[in-house]
Amino acid sequence: MAKKINLVSIFCSHEALEQIYILSYPYCLIKQYLFKRIEDIFGSFFIGEMTLLWRNRSRLK
């Protein structure tokens, strides 16, 4: 059995909370940036694909 960490005690201590925030902040920025890039790449791709499909569908009718 893994020993459970008492989250309340961690988050109640201000220094620990600050440490967690400082450590997780760059990760959050990187994640945000990556998701933005993925959204840009795949978003435009999927929108392009969908408009192509939609145009072809209209043409087939």
Q: pLDDT averaged over consecutive 10-residue blocks of the chain (61 residues)?
A: 58 67 77 82 77 76 58
pLDDT of residue 31: 82
What's the distance, CA 10 to chain centroid?
25
Q: Which residue has the tokens 């459970």?
A: 4
DSSP 8-state code for residue 1 = -
User: pTM for the full model?
Assistant: 0.37
Of 29, 9, 11, nearest to 20 (Cα)? 11
